[in-house]
Amino acid sequence: MTRPTAVEIRNITRLDNGLTVATAEMPHMTSVSVGLWVGIGARYEPGDLNGVCHFIEHMVFKGTGKRSAEEISNAVEGRGGYLNAFTSEEISCFHARAGRQHFSEVLDVLADMLLQPRLSPVDVRKEREVIKEEIAGCLDDPQHYVQEVLNAALWPDQPMGRPITGTPETLDSMDGQTLRDYLAAHYVASNIVIAAAGNITHAEALRHVAKYAGRFSSGPRPGCPPAVVKQTAPVVRLLTRETEQTQAALGIRTCSRHDPRRYAIRLLNVIIGENMSSRLFQSVREQHGLAYSIYSTPSFFADTGDLVISAGIDTSKVARALRLICDELKRLRDHPPRAAEVRQARDYAIGQIELARESTDTQMNWLGEQLIANGEFVSPRTIQRRISEVTPGQIQAVARDFFRPERLNLALISPLKSARGLKKPLSL
C-alpha cells in the first residue's frame, strides 16, 4: 500500500540537560519551520518587572555577539524566509521558516539570539522607547485596548491581569543587566523546547541542535502564582472615551488546558461565536444589525481559562446588543444544542485541524506549545477524536458550569458616561 505523502512522523527527545527537541517530519514539504519555545511569560513576572519578557523578546533582535540587527534579519529574510517572535501570559517563542536547505543557518540565528544577545545600553534605551510607542498605540486602539481592560477585570491585582507589554514606569526601571539576569535565571535548558516541522528528519535536527545544547544554562523550571478568584457577582468596567462606536468585551472564566471539558468548550465556542454561522453572528449582526463584527475566542492556561466575546457596537444599541448576547448564553445553558448544530460545529472544528495539518508553521506550533505547556504531545488525530465524542449534553453542561453571574466580566470603551443598566443582563 502506498503511504500518503501528507503523513507526519513525530519524534521527541529530551537531552541530558533538560532541553527538549521535537520534530514533525513532513518530507513532502520544501520548507522547515523552527521555534525556540520558552515556558516563561507575563504571569511569571513580579510586579516591578512587568513587561520584562516582552522587553527581552524585542531586545534579542537588536544584535548578538556575532550579528548586528541587520545581519540577524538578513540571515533569514535574505534566504526567502521569515523571522518573528511573540510573548504571551505563559510562553515566549522565537520562530522562523525557510527552505529546508537553510535550516542550519536559521537555527544558528535563533540560538544566537537567545544565547548571546548584545543588550547594549544604547539599544536598551532605544527599544524601551519603541515599546512605549507600542503601548501608546494600544491605548489609541479601542478594539485592542478593551481586551487589556477586560484582563484587569478578570484577574484583578495579579500577574494575569497586567499588560504583557508592561508599563512606561516598569520599563524605565529595567536596564540591560536586568534583562541579562532574567534571561539567565528563567531561559534555561529545562524550560526550552526546540520544535521543527517540515522537510527535515529528527536525526538531522538533533545533530544541528547538538552544537548549541550545552550552552543553555541549567536550572529548574520557574513557577508562577496561581490565578486568584474572589468574584461573587458580575463586574462591569467602563472607560469613557469619545470613540465612533463602543468596543465591548465580555469575559467568562472557564477551565484550564488540562481540564477534559476543554473539548466541549471548543465546540461551544464554534456554536456561540467563532464564525459567521455562529449564533451570535446570526442574531446580533444578521438578524438585528447591531454590530459589524462579533466573535468569541477561548483561551486556556495552566490553572484557568476564559471565553471572550468581542464586538464593536453602535453606542445607542449597546444595552440591546448585550441583552441579545446574554439571551444566547442563557439559551445554550438552558437547552442543549440540536444534534445537527453540534455535527456542523464538529465538522468545522475537525476541518480546521485538517487544514492546519498542511502547514509547517502549525505543526511546529502544535509541538512546541503542547510540550512547553503540558510536557507531552497530544496528536491532532487524538484531538479530533475527542472533539467527535462531545455530545449536546456535554456542551450544555459546560454552559451551566461557566455561564454564571460570578464568572462574567464586561469591559467597555465607549462614549457612554455611565454603565447603569448594563450589569442587569449579566445576572443571567
Q: What is the CATH number of the domain that holds 332?
A: 3.30.830.10
Q: What is the pTM of this model?
A: 0.95
DSSP annotation of 24 reads E
Same domain, 253 and 198: no
For residue 78, CA distances in Å to 81, 95, 103, 262 come to 7, 16, 13, 41
Closest by CA position to 291, among listed 299, 301, 281? 281
Residue 101 falls within a domain, yes or no?
yes
The answer to whether residue 228 scores a pLDDT higher than 90 is yes
pLDDT band at 428 (very low <50, low <70, confident <90, very high): confident
Same domain, 261 and 112: no
* Cβ count near 148 (within 10 Å): 19
Same domain, 296 and 259: yes
Which contiguous run of DSSP H or E holds residue 324? Answer: helix 318-334
What percent of the chain has a predicted confidence (pLDDT) above 90?
A: 96
Can 57 be counted among the known catalytic residues? yes
How far is the C-alpha of 125 from the C-alpha of 207, rounded, in Å? 38
How far is the C-alpha of 388 from the C-alpha of 262, rounded, in Å? 13
Domain residue limits at 46: 9-213
- Beta-sheet pairing, 408-414 with 305-313: unpaired
Same domain, 160 and 206: yes
Average pLDDT, the chain: 96
Residue 3 falls within a domain, yes or no?
no
Calculate helix-pair angle for 121-139, 142-154, nearest 10 degrees: 90
Q: What is the pLDDT of residue 8?
A: 67
Same domain, 244 and 176: no
pLDDT in tens, 230-283: 999 999 999 999 999 999 999 999 999 999 999 999 999 999 999 999 999 999
How far is the C-alpha of 24 from the C-alpha of 122, rounded, in Å? 40
| Total domains in the fold of the chain | 2
Same domain, 155 and 281: no
Phi and psi of 367, rounded to 5°?
A: -60, -55
Residue 86 falls within a domain, yes or no?
yes
Catalytic residue among 8, 25, 45, 57: 57
pLDDT in tens, 151-168: 999 999 999 999 999 999
pLDDT in tens, 108-142: 999 999 999 999 999 999 999 999 999 999 999 99
Which contiguous run of DSSP H or E holds residue 114? Answer: helix 103-115
pLDDT in tens, 404-419: 999 999 999 999 999 9
Residues 28-47 have a mean pLDDT of: 97
Using the Cα atoms of residue 176, residue 177, residue 182 and residue 185 in order, give the sign of their dihedral: positive
In single-letter form, the type of residue at position 238 comes to L
If 0-12 CB within 10 Å is exposed, 13-18 middle and 19+ buried, where does residue 168 land? middle
Residue 1 falls within a domain, yes or no?
no
pLDDT in tens, 298-334: 999 999 999 999 999 999 999 999 999 999 999 999 9
Distance of CA 81 to the CA centre of its chain: 23
Calculate helix-pair angle for 339-356, 392-402, nearest 10 degrees: 90
